[in-house]
A and B are shown apart, each in its own frame.
Chain A
Amino acid sequence: MADRALIPLLLVGLILALLLAAATGAFPIPPGRIVAVLAGRDGDAQAAAVLWNIRLPRVLAAALVGAALSGAGAAYQTVFRNPLVSPDILGVSAGAGFGAVLGILLGLPVLAIQLMGFGTGLATVGLVLLLSLSLRGGGQVLVMVLCGIAIGALAGAGISLVKLLADPESQLPAITFWLMGSLAGIKRPDVAAALPAIVTGLVPLILLRWRICLLALGDDEARSLGVEAGRLRLLVIACATLVTAAAVSMAGVIGWVGLMVPHMARLATGPRFDRLLPATLLAGAAFMVLVDTAARSIATMEVPLGILTAVLGAPVFLWLLARGARTWSE
């Protein structure tokens, strides 16, 4: 697909997804009246409150989370030179999950739970990086990934411990729901809290998008081309982690998006990160807006996003595996 046509196409797709999401919801507002309500020309205060306080913050949050997870996934895949890597590779989701469920166990307010998730997600990856830099062969991708697996397993054990200690009647269901990912409780302040972190993380990725390509060649090759590979990779990991931690702390653990969306986008753009990133951000936002719309409309109860993305993601993943070396070599 021509590079020039792709971005406008994705942009149109995102706008359509946003419109569909804004027009869909349990509270009956005829689509025709939505514009009037938003413009303040409709007297129905209740409809306006539902739109402004509930539906639109959630649609915006979905777009943000989708863009964040997908963009971070694309960055991680590029710097780890592996198209099958997801943003969780260094343990950010497990770490954020541990912090958040601990917050639930301690009975903290929701914003504090989100902050704790955000903080422990960042701290987990920080620990992984410190460890991998201090070990023999410091800073190597493989060492980093192995440290990520180890620390992620510890965080996973922490989550299990918290589940064990939680009150099975009140806290355990909340923990379970959180770990499956949902935007059901999103409010405007949540979006306002996550937005700066997501933007702060994405802006350097966008600005450095061409140079980040070179990291996909491997450290030695990138260095011999004049790039400070180690430093640049740490920066990319830091940014991608910031973005992921913000998304996970707001929406809970949502798998597959960060793996699948960049992968699909790469089919259209090729591996160049400078082309891949914008396409991934738009596609990820549109995808998550659609998935969240499904999550709140296919049943009366909320279907956890983690379930939906896995149901959609696993077959796509297998299909990609079957197609094999189309976008990468063995």
Chain B
Amino acid sequence: MRYSPASALKVAALIALTALPAAAFDGTPFTDATGREVQVPANPARVFAAGPPAATLLYTLKPAAMIGWVRAPKTSDLPFLRPEVAALPELGRLTGKGDTLNLEVLLSATPDLIVDYGTVSGTYTDLAARVQDQSGVPYVLVDGSFAVLPQSIRDMGKVLAVPERADQLAAYAEATLAEIDALLAEIPEAERPTVYLARGSEGLETAAKGSINAEIIERVGGRNVADLETKGLANVSAEQVQAWAPQVIITIDRDFAARVATMPEWQGVPAVTNGRVYLAPATPFGFIDAPPSVNRLIGLKWLAHKFYPEKVKTDLTTAVEEFYDLFYGVKPDGAALAALLGG
């Protein structure tokens, strides 16, 4: 799924309606992922994140600069968010599939910068430029590829004028990725589990191999069985899952996780037989995707524990505690952590 492009499109469309004069402003030139040189305010104080991935990154880097959420956090997310930020208003449903953002709401919140974090391509380069030309608000797009995550954190940190904070988070990301690489070096291809990512309450919606939604499963060495004709989300049949016979099932659907053991059409799938169906934690942000942002770093560690229980001996609860403290600025108590990881 794509995030930033559609957001740019929406902002462009809406800003075109109001036809604001392009404002000149002082700032530091910054060349963003689209190759555009953008004049960024020296110390952005009111930043609008164009999509959920950008919102998550912005929250972890500079929560004080947030002026609102594109989608308000759910009640269950609140204990895992900084209280002052959790209460920010929902400004508009600026998401990946063409929803609406009320530009008057956005502009009345007086942003001095719009940041986006996601796919970079010609269309979106142009759209970002259009939005900025028409609104006068600088628009920076940072590459959302997982492979360049540490660099993207640093880039975003530079734009937001929080380089030290960005260094700290990027270093964590680098260490995590190095840890995973070291782990994988010990595990031959054949010993890595075959994995199926189940979505939807029937578990028959999946993310294809190579899709952004399943990216980190493959990064931890999981062999995604869903090698499909698409690189996005798809429906598959229960029989197909039976034929794939995945050793591990990762799901983001609580209902499916609760029922899979009793669903007749899932019986005999090795992951179900061996009790290796895992519900990915999702508060305040998903471990696997939803949104595909820095939140996936803890997802890597969680997956490593689930994939290689014999090899990974570090304490998962401690790792989660550290991550939440460092990235989200909250210290969940033992009960909250147990509930989070308990499924």
Q: Which A residues are closer than 8 A to B by beta carbons?
A: 25-28, 45-46, 49-50, 53-55, 58, 107, 109-110, 164, 168-170, 172-174, 177, 182, 184-185, 187-188, 296, 299-302, 304
The complex places the Cα of A107 from the Cα of B236 at a distance, in Å, of: 20
Question: B235 contacts A302, CB within 8 Å?
Answer: yes
Which A residues touch B95, using CB under 8 A?
168-169
Query: Which B residues lie within 8 Å of A172 (CB)?
Result: 97
A170 contacts which chain B residues (CB < 8 A)? 199-200, 252-253, 290
Question: Are B289 and A54 neighbours in the complex by a CB distance under 8 Å?
Answer: no
Q: A172-B97, A301-B228, A302-B237 are in contact. List 18 more A-B contacts (CB 8 A).
A: A25-B239, A25-B243, A26-B242, A46-B268, A53-B238, A54-B242, A54-B265, A58-B237, A164-B93, A169-B95, A185-B235, A185-B237, A185-B238, A296-B240, A300-B228, A300-B236, A301-B230, A301-B236
Question: Does B229 interact with chain A (Cβ within 8 Å)?
Answer: yes
Chain A binder among B161-169, B175-183, B202-210, B309-317:
B202-210
User: Are A109 and B255 interface neighbours, CB within 8 A?
Assistant: yes
How far does the Cβ of A330 sit from chain B's closest Cβ, in whole Å? 42
B291 at the interface (CB under 8 A from A): yes
Q: Contacts A49-B264, A49-B267, A301-B230 known; A168 to B99 CB distance under 8 Å?
A: yes
Whether a CB of chain A sits under 8 angstroms from the CB of B189 is no
Nearest first, the 7 A-B pairs at minimum CB distance are A301-B234, A26-B243, A26-B240, A302-B235, A168-B95, A27-B243, A301-B228
By a CB distance below 8 angstroms, the chain B residues around A188 are: 264
Please give, as numbers and ranges, the residues of chain A lying within 8 Å of B255 by CB-CB distance. 107, 109
Nearest A residue (CB) for B208: A301
Could you say which of A46, A185, A299 contacts B229, with CB atoms under 8 Å apart? Answer: A299
Q: B240 to A300, Cβ gap below 8 A?
A: yes
Cα–Cα, bound, A168→B233 (Å): 12
A184 pairs with B204, CB closer than 8 A:
yes
* C-alpha spacing A185/B240, complex, angstroms: 11
Chain B interface, DSSP helix/strand/loop, else mixed: loop
Are A53 and B265 in touch, CB under 8 angstroms? yes
Given contacts A54-B265, A109-B201, A301-B230, is CB(A184)–CB(B236) below 8 Å? yes
Q: Are A177 and B205 in contact (CB under 8 A)?
A: yes
The answer to whether A301 touches B96, judged by C-beta atoms less than 8 angstroms apart, is no
Chain A residues lying within 8 Å of B268, measured Cβ to Cβ, are 45-46, 49-50
Q: A109-B255, A168-B99 are in contact. Are A50 and B242 (CB under 8 A)?
A: yes
Partner of B204, one of A28, A107, A185, A304: A185
Question: What is the CA–CA distance of A224 and B300 in the complex, to the nearest angstrom?
Answer: 77
- Chain B 18-48, CB-CB to A under 8 Å as 1, else 0, gives 0000000000000000000000000000000
In the complex, the answer to whether A173 meets B228 with C-beta atoms within 8 Å is no
By beta carbon, the residue of chain A nearest B228 is A301
Residues of B within 8 A of A302 (CB): 234-237, 240
The smallest C-beta distance from A175 to any residue of chain B, in angstroms, reads 10
Inter-subunit contact B264/A53 (CB<8 Å):
yes
Once the chains are docked, how many angstroms separate the CA of A187 from the CA of B202? 10
Q: Closest residue of chain A to B240, judged by CB?
A: A26
Quick check: is B1 within 8 A (CB to CB) of the other chain?
yes
Q: Which of B100, B229, B291 contacts A169 (CB 8 A)?
A: B291
Nearest B residue (CB) for A46: B268
The answer to whether A169 touches B236 (Cβ under 8 A) is no
- Measured between alpha carbons, how far is A304 from B234 in the docked complex, in Å? 10
List chain A residues, Cβ under 8 A from B252. 170
Contact residues in B for A187 (Cβ distance below 8 Å):
263-265
In the bound assembly, the distance between CA atoms of A296 and B239 in angstroms comes to 9
Pairs across A and B, CB under 8 Å, 26 listed:
A25-B239, A26-B240, A26-B242, A49-B264, A49-B265, A53-B267, A54-B242, A54-B265, A58-B239, A109-B201, A110-B201, A164-B99, A168-B96, A169-B290, A170-B252, A170-B253, A173-B233, A184-B235, A185-B202, A185-B238, A296-B237, A301-B226, A301-B235, A302-B234, A302-B237, A304-B235
Closest CB in chain B relative to A10 CB, distance in Å: 27
What is the minimal beta-carbon distance from B72 to any residue of chain A, in angstroms? 12
Which residues of chain B from 244 to 267 have a CB within 8 Å of any chain A CB? 244, 252-253, 255, 263-265, 267
Which of B95, B228, B242 has the most chain A CB atoms inside 10 A of its CB?
A: B242
B25 to chain A, nearest CB (A): 32
> For B234, what are the chain A residues with a Cβ–Cβ distance below 8 Å?
301-302
Contacts of B97 in A (CB 8 A): 168, 172
Residue of A58, A173, A185, A296 touching B199 (CB-CB under 8 A): A173
Q: How far is the CA of A50 from the CA of B266 in the complex (A)?
A: 9
Given known A-B contacts A164-B100, A169-B290, A169-B291, A54 and B237 have beta carbons under 8 A apart: yes
Of A187, A188, A301, most B-chain CB atoms within 10 Å: A301
Residues of B within 8 A of A46 (CB): 242, 268
Give the distance in Å from the alpha carbon of A185 to the alpha carbon of B100 in the complex.
Answer: 32
Residues of chain B in range 213-235 having any CB-CB distance to chain A below 8 Å: 226-230, 233-235
Q: Are B264's CB and A184's CB within 8 A?
A: no
Q: Please, which residues of chain B bring their CB within 8 A of the CB of A304? A: 235
B94 to nearest A CB, angstroms?
A: 10
Assembly CA distance A19 to B75 (angstroms): 52
Chain B's nearest CB lies how many Å from the CB of A57? 9
Q: Which residues of B contact A109 (CB under 8 A)?
A: 201, 255
Q: Which of A27, A168, A177 contacts B235 (CB 8 A)?
A: A177
Chain A residues with Cβ below 8 Å from B204 are: 184-185
CA gap between A53 and B241 in the complex, in Å:
13
CA distance A49 to B233 in the complex (A): 27
A174 and B203 CA atoms in complex are apart in Å by: 11
